[in-house]
Amino acid sequence: MILETADIKSVLTSSNTTQKMYINGEWVLSESNQTSKIVNPANGELIGTVTVGTEEDAKKAIESARKAFYENGWMNSRARDRAELLLQISNKLEERKEEFAYLETLNNGKTLRESLGDVEDAVNQLRYYAGLATKPHGQTYDVPDDIQAMVVREAIGVVGIIVPWNYPLVMANQKIAAAIAAGCSIVVKPAEITPLSLIRLFEIIDEMGFPPGIVNLVLGSGRKVGAELVSNPNVDKISFTGGTDTGIKLMKSAADTVKKISLELGGKSPNIVFADADFDAAVDYALYAIFANQGQVCSAGSRLLLEESLYEKFVPELVRRAKMIKIGPGWNDGIEMGPLVSEAHMNTVLNYIEIGKNEGATLLCGGNRIIEGDLGKGYFVEPTIFGDTTPDMRIVQEEIFGPVLAIQTFKTEKEAIELANGTAFGLAGAVFSQDGAKAQRVIRQLRAGITWINTYHPTFNEAPWGGYKQSGIGRDLGTYGFEEYLETKQININLKVEPSGFFEGK
Ligand code: NDP
């Protein structure tokens, strides 16, 4: 444990007052006068009350972001100044990383070690993009005329950032850092149920002295605030992370204003284990792939594709170890899995478990909400593994976004590839094999944007993150993620200034 229990109160200093949104450089309550209660998913206790923004609040934030960018000079702000602001935010966040980690655990349910990793990631994202702020570069072209042709990169303008609840700080932070580095102004909308760490990040941002309107935080529902950001013609770009169904809605709405849009969506990622894999490593990573963050990871290895000859040895060991996972409130020492994020989401996951049973899959372990003792107050679900699945089952095709693993088996490399690519998603995937050539051959056949050989999950802020197929459009992170916030302008300079002679008459 990082903080003493008594410090929980200090982490939640503002739990008794309604927390505000940040619009045009000021902390404000929504004119709706509505509030929403934020709950700790490990015990159902109230941990905060926040104002609930509306379309009108979103419009105000968009207007202020637009004014700041187009009228008040942010469009021509200096990259070095923006880099400095990002560095200062990163330093402040690092100083307070334990407090942020604790808050994330209390709001989202993830274990403290995972929250701490998230905050460290966020610090690194700010530093990475601070470095990149001064690096966008254009090109010059040798064209067949007396023209100097060149391309310059410019900030895309006002960016609406919409993020989910599974990594409340990191998902928003990576987009904020890249957009600010590129010189955009932003309006951020967190998931309604996990706004606390982002509100606190904006407290740090507020201390930095950004000109009003550059950075805005609007709380409220996706249906109202999120939808307004997407449909409003004064937003130049939407950067979205969330479910595929929501992404489809967003794309349709964004089409009305030909808005630039990048989408980081869901997944049903295959973790392929060949019989020649390192056995211990493969079992270990199969667990980590699906049960980290309670399975609420877009890139989770939610389908284990096992070479048939390995099944009898692999599955009992996997199940034995899944049953050993230590479940409890994320802030307790040694806890390896926390609760699901909310009661509603827990019910969705439990419903999928019922679907799996009804479809005829064999429940190998788990399958239940934990109702005994104190854990019964929270939204804890046992690590769950299904065997005997078929490719058409819903638990194989649909993203469950919880601690539920579906095992599929294959006999040949070709079959493994077909099964791996056999869903609508294409976010991530892994291959475990000690045959290097085979592992690379298979990885190259996966239609997925994030892949691993003999490991699962490690990704880095330096590398692009995003999916093929219905897992998204565009990329977050790395230089690719930076590009998402830049426009490309062609400039042609006449080197021989005289009439063109296109029309003869003078
Ligand atoms: P949702 O799609 O339900 O919500 C994501 C965000 O969109 C929330 O802020 C939500 O607001 C908002 N939203 C909902 N409806 C609309 C709308 N009509 N217009 C605009 N905004 C809207 O996803 P979840 O929060 O349930 O997150 C889980 C999903 O996110 C999973 O599918 C997961 O795979 C995906 N994800 C993808 C990642 C990636 O990098 N590819 C990473 C992390 C998660 P509100 O909270 O108010 O509903």
Identity of residue 306: L
User: Residue 38 has what pLDDT?
Assistant: 97
CA–CA distance from 240 to each of 247, 248, 264, 318, 379 (Å)?
A: 8, 11, 6, 35, 27
Residue 12 has a pLDDT of 76
Between 3.40.50.2300, 3.40.50.300, 3.40.309.10, 3.30.1280.10, what CATH number should domain 270-453 receive? Answer: 3.40.309.10
Q: Given a cut of 90, is residue 121 above it in pLDDT?
A: yes
Whether residue 55 has its Cβ less than 6 Å from ligand 1: no
Give the chain's radius of gyration (CA, Å): 24
Domain boundaries, the chain: 5-265+471-490, 270-453
Is the pLDDT reported for residue 215 higher than 90? Answer: yes
Residue 441 has what pLDDT?
A: 98
| 173, 231, 251, 298: residue to mutate for ligand 1 pocket, most atoms within 8 A of CB | 298
Cβ of 109: how many Cβ atoms within 10 Å? 30
Is the C-alpha dihedral spanning 210, 213, 215, 218 positive or negative? positive
Residue 413 has a pLDDT of 98
Q: Does residue 427 have its Cβ closer than 6 Å to ligand 1?
A: yes
Residue 127 has pLDDT above 70, yes or no: yes
Q: How do residues 74-110 score in pLDDT, each as one tens digit? A: 999 999 999 999 999 999 999 999 999 999 999 999 9
Provide, rounded to the nearest whole percent, the portion of the chain with pLDDT above 90.
96
Given a contact cutoff of 8 angstroms between Cβ atoms, the answer to whether 162 and 69 are in contact is: no
> Which residue has the least CA distance to atom 22 on ligand 1?
222
> 5-265+471-490 falls under which CATH superfamily?
Aldehyde Dehydrogenase; Chain A, domain 1 (3.40.605.10)
CB-based contacts of 436, cutoff 8 Å, min separation 6: none
Alpha carbon distance 161, 357 (integer Å): 38
Report whether residue 246 contacts ligand 1, using a CB cutoff of 6 Å: yes
Concatenated DSSP letters of 205-271: HHHTTPPTTSEEE--B-IIIIIHHHHH-TT--EEEEES-HHHHHHHHHHHHTTT-EEEEE-----EE
What confidence tens digit (pLDDT) does each residue in 236-285 have? Answer: 999 999 999 999 999 999 999 999 999 999 999 999 999 999 999 999 99
| CA 240–ligand 1 middle distance (angstroms) | 8
Ligand 1 in reach of 399 Cβ (< 6 A): yes
C-alpha–C-alpha distance, residues 454 and 336, integer Å:
22
For tokens 């994202």, the residue is 125
pLDDT-based confidence at residue 198 (cuts at 50, 70, 90): very high
Ranking 22-26, 160-164, 301-305, 501-505 by mean pLDDT, the lowest is: 501-505
Burial degree of 81 (CB within 10 A; 0-12, 13-18, 19+): exposed
**Sheet with 35-39: strands ordered across:** 18-19, 46-51, 35-39
* Distance of alpha carbon 49 from alpha carbon 19, whole angstroms: 6
- Give the position, in ligand 1's atom list, of the atom nearest the Cα of 244: 32
What's the 190 CA to ligand 1 centre distance in angstroms?
Answer: 9
| Closest CA to ligand 1's atom 42 | 298
- C-alpha 297 – ligand 1 centre gap (Å): 12
Report the alpha-carbon distance of residue 312 to residue 461 in Å, rounded: 38
Give the β-pairing of 270-273 and 428-432. Answer: parallel
pLDDT digits (tens, 9 = 90+) for 309-364: 999 999 999 999 999 999 999 999 999 999 999 999 999 999 999 999 999 999 99
Q: How many whole angstroms from 225 Cα to the centroid of ligand 1?
A: 13
Find the 134 Cα to ligand 1 centroid distance in Å: 31
- Beta strand 450-453 with 428-432 is parallel
Pairing of strands 384-387, 362-365: antiparallel
How far apart CA 271 and CA 474 sit, in angstroms, is 23
Query: 99 has which bridge partners?
Result: none
pLDDT at 503 over 90: yes
Taking 60 as the threshold, does the pLDDT of residue 6 lie above it?
Answer: no
Averaged pLDDT score across all residues of the chain: 96
Query: Cα(404)–Cα(352) distance, rounded to whole angstroms?
Result: 9
Beta pairing, strands 139-142 & 147-155: antiparallel
Find tokens 């010059």 and name the residue: 140
pLDDT band at residue 11 using 50, 70 and 90 as cut-offs: confident
C-beta of 297 in contact with ligand 1 (< 6 A) = no
Which has more pLDDT, 137 or 343? Answer: 343
Helix, strand, coil abundance in the chain, percent, nearest 5: 40, 20, 40
40-73 pLDDT, tens digit per residue, is: 999 999 999 999 999 999 999 999 999 999 999 9
417-432: pLDDT as tens digits: 999 999 999 999 999 9
From the CB of 21, is ligand 1 less than 6 Å away?
Answer: no
Q: Where are the alpha helices (DSSP H) in 49-162?
A: 55-66, 79-95, 97-108, 112-132
Question: What pLDDT does residue 9 have?
Answer: 60
DSSP H stretches of helix in 368-435: 394-397, 413-420
Residue with tokens 């190259």, as numbered in its chain = 444
Residues 226/254, Cβ–Cβ less than 8 Å? no
In the predicted model, is pLDDT for residue 13 greater than 80? no
H/E segment holding residue 70 = none
Phi, psi of 93 (to 5 degrees): -65, -40
Atom 32 of ligand 1 has which residue's CA nearest to it?
243
